């Protein structure tokens, strides 16, 4: 059995959603715009799915439109807002029109802002709202900039880290500002109450395939009275707000998922999901005693864990998990081919090694307890194997790699293990001139070990000597004592093992970056 733990990228389709889609494609294939019996049947299904969506989202007023997914919803919302800002500016040249978006938004948001700003020739300023190290928006910054904002985009929960935005705090920071507010709610559906109707949220896009419906269907909520410009015009479908014959199979499937949400039996409670996450975190701790979680659990979706393992690169972890039939992601699936470190983790200010080594593990709200047990067992098994092999091979690093490590990781420690009478120039000494170093001759190593073992798990310790042999012994000893992030600087004439590159985050190309 494969263990799929990449639910934030996409989910399988729920059996009842599959059945609903098949029924529409076989018997109930009418066009909801037709006025004969078959069309009326399709119309009834469409109306029923929308009514369920209204109840699940608790939005009795405003529009709920079926779309092709969240990217379309985001573009529709941004277009609508920017057309309104153009009108406001025509009426008043001093009207606030800055476009602000959370620095950790899904790329669809800044891309849509840039696209429509350019296409409409508006020339609005576009700026990211900074986030703190916990991934949450800097509310003081937002409060300061809100008065000049025309549109503010802040996601409800982050797809990479699971960090839940403080929507109440954001609303308070918006204060008296006239800014329109877009909340990308993709990752929140089914996991988090949104209270859209109780907040001044103008637009909230959703995506079916993140919650057990097929790809290619989604929803867009538009607050009553919020400006709206259709992205598509044509045959007048969706009250002429979104033309194009409806994706009835997708809508039927999404309707079935929403029915399941409303019924409350298929998806697990918040407490049950939190218990699953606690078990997964504890399995990760057993497999990798130095695992570092990249976002605080108490403000994260209960279904997402983003972590890094000091000394083990993201692609090495992914390969080990993959081999065990255990599928996780090195970041968001949309950017997986772009070989860039995560913009989300970078915005949070994580050290380069931690951002480059990050793994996202996300499960679905319908995943059962047995499934989580099996996932835990595979984490422990594949993790233990990986640590053993990486400990055996990833000891040596080049001077360039060591230099990057020292530069990128302020807590890194450089240690000269030569005896006091050896003062020949070597690559390590050149690094010591730049970064400083501790002196700990190998003969006195044991007296220094306790201090290094007190270092945080994510503090790399790089040993050097003349030949690379004593430094390798020192690094191996420290690893055996439990500090995984221990390295030996290999002189140029002793090139490091190829595998060493895996252990040097700032030099390694993450295999599955965002
Ligand atoms: N917003 C967030 C937070 C997402 O996670 C995604 C998908 O990865 C999207 C938007 C885009 O959704 P869709 O695939 O439905 O276009």
**Ligand 1 contact, 335 CB (< 6 A):** no
Please indicate whether residue 464 or residue 508 has the higher confidence score (pLDDT): 464
Ligand 1 centroid distance, CA of 74 (Å): 9
How far, in Å, CA of 495 to CA of 130, rounded?
41
pLDDT digits (tens, 9 = 90+) for 161-201: 999 999 999 999 999 999 999 999 999 999 998 999 999 99
Count of other CB atoms within 10 angstroms of residue 485 = 28
Residue 506 is predicted with a pLDDT of 37
Ligand 1 centroid distance, CA of 54 (Å): 21
Q: Give percent above pLDDT 70 in the chain.
A: 91
Mutate which of 10, 187, 207, 333 for ligand 1? The one with the most ligand atoms within 8 Å of its CB, which is: 207
Closest atom of ligand 1 to 108 CA is 10
Closest atom of ligand 1 to 72 CA is 16
**Ligand 1 contact, 189 CB (< 6 A):** no
Ligand 1 centroid distance, CA of 185 (Å): 9
pLDDT digits (tens, 9 = 90+) for 61-94: 999 999 999 999 999 999 999 999 999 999 999 9
**Ligand 1 contact, 306 CB (< 6 A):** no
Residue 57 is predicted with a pLDDT of 97
Residue 423 is predicted with a pLDDT of 79
What 140-148 contacts at long range (C-beta under 8 Å, 24+ apart), as own/partner pairs, is 140/173, 142/100, 142/170, 142/173, 142/174, 143/172, 143/173, 143/175, 145/98, 145/100, 146/100, 146/173, 146/174, 146/175, 146/177, 146/179, 147/96, 147/175, 147/176, 147/177, 148/96, 148/97, 148/98
Ligand 1 centroid distance, CA of 221 (Å): 15
- What mean pLDDT do residues 13-37 have? 96
**Ligand 1 contact, 56 CB (< 6 A):** no
Count of other CB atoms within 10 angstroms of residue 493 = 7
How far, in Å, CA of 374 to CA of 451, rounded?
38
Ligand 1 centroid distance, CA of 123 (Å): 26
Count of other CB atoms within 10 angstroms of residue 219 = 27
| Residues paired with residue 100 on neighbouring β-strands, in sequence order | 127, 152
**Ligand 1 contact, 334 CB (< 6 A):** yes
**Ligand 1 contact, 76 CB (< 6 A):** no
Angle at 355 between CA 364 and CA 155, to 5 degrees: 50
pLDDT band at 96; cut points 50, 70, 90: very high
Collapsing DSSP states into helix, strand and coil, what is residue 355? helix
Residue 246 is predicted with a pLDDT of 97
Mutate which of 70, 101, 203 for ligand 1? The one with the most ligand atoms within 8 Å of its CB, which is: 70
Residue 389 is predicted with a pLDDT of 61
| Most confident option among 264-278, 306-320, 418-432 | 264-278
- Nearest to 58, CA basis, from 240, 210, 201: 201
Residue 381 is predicted with a pLDDT of 83
Mutate which of 66, 110, 112, 186 for ligand 1? The one with the most ligand atoms within 8 Å of its CB, which is: 186
Mutate which of 78, 102, 104, 108 for ligand 1? The one with the most ligand atoms within 8 Å of its CB, which is: 108
Please state the pTM of the whole predicted model.
Answer: 0.81
pLDDT digits (tens, 9 = 90+) for 431-485: 999 999 999 999 899 999 999 998 877 688 999 999 899 999 999 898 878 787 8
**Ligand 1 contact, 218 CB (< 6 A):** yes
pLDDT digits (tens, 9 = 90+) for 227-256: 999 999 999 999 999 999 999 999 999 999
How far, in Å, CA of 400 to CA of 427, rounded?
10
Q: Atom 13 of ligand 1 has which residue's CA nearest to it? A: 70
Ligand 1 centroid distance, CA of 188 (Å): 11
pLDDT digits (tens, 9 = 90+) for 208-224: 999 999 999 999 999 99
What average pLDDT is seen over the chain?
Answer: 90
Least confident segment among 7-21, 278-292, 479-493: 479-493
Active site residues: 334
pLDDT digits (tens, 9 = 90+) for 113-155: 999 999 999 999 999 999 999 999 999 999 999 999 999 999 9
Ligand 1 centroid distance, CA of 300 (Å): 18
Residue 498 is predicted with a pLDDT of 33
């Amino acid at each position: 059995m494969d263990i799929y733990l990449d639910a934030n990228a996409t989910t399988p389709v729920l059996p009842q959603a599959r059945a609903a889609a098949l029924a529409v494609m076989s018997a109930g294939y009418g066009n909801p715009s037709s006025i004969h019996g078959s069309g009326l049947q399709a119309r009834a299904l469409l109306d029923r799915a929308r009514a369920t969506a209204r109840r699940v989202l608790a939005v009795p007023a405003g529009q709920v439109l079926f779309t092709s997914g969240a990217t379309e919803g985001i573009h529709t919302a941004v277009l609508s807002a920017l057309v309104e800002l153009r009108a406001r500016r025509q009426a008043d040249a001093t009207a606030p029109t800055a476009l602000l978006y959370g620095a950790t938004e899904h790329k669809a948001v800044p891309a849509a802002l840039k696209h429509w700003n350019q296409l409409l020739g508006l020339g609005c300023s576009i700026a990211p709202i900074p986030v703190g190290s916990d991934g949450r928006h800097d509310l003081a910054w937002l409060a300061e900039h809100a008065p000049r904002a025309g549109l503010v985009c802040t996601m409800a929960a982050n797809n990479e880290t699971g960090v839940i935005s403080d929507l109440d705090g954001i609303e308070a920071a918006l204060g008296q500002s006239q800014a329109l507010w877009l909340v990308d709610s993709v990752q929140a559906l089914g996991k988090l109450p949104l209270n859209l109707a109780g907040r001044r949220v103008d637009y909230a896009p959703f995506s079916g395939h993140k919650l057990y419906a097929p790809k290619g269907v989604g929803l867009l909520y538009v607050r009553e009275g919020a400006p709206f410009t259709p992205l598509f015009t044509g045959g007048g479908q969706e009250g002429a707000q979104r033309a194009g014959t409806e994706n009835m199979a997708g809508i039927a499937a999404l309707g079935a998922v929403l029915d399941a949400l409303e019924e409350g039996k298929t998806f697990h409670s918040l407490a049950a999901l939190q218990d699953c996450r606690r078990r997964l975190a504890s399995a990760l701790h057993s497999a990798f005693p130095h695992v570092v979680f990249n976002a605080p659990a108490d403000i994260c979706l209960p279904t997402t864990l983003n972590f890094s393992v000091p000394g083990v690169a993201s692609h090495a972890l992914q390969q080990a998990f993959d081999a065990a039939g255990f599928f996780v992601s090195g970041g968001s699936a949309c950017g997986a081919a772009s070989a860039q470190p995560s913009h989300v983790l970078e915005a949070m200010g994580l050290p380069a090694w931690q951002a480059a080594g990050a793994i996202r593990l996300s499960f679905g709200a319908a995943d059962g307890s047995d499934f989580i047990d099996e996932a835990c067992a595979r984490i422990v098994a594949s993790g233990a194997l990986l640590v053993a092999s990486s400990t055996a091979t990833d000891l040596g690093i080049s001077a360039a790699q060591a230099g990057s490590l020292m530069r990128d990781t302020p807590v890194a420690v450089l240690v000269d293990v030569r005896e006091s009478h050896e003062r020949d120039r070597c690559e390590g000494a050149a690094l010591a001139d730049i970064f400083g170093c501790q002196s700990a001759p190998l003969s006195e190593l044991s007296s220094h070990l306790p201090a290094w073992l007190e270092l945080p798990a994510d503090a790399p310790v790089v040993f050097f000597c003349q030949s690379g042999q004593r430094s390798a012994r020192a690094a191996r000893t420290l690893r055996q004592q439990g500090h995984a992030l221990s390295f030996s600087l290999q002189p140029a004439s002793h090139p490091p093992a190829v595998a060493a590159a895996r252990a040097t985050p700032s030099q390694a190309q993450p295999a599955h970056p965002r």
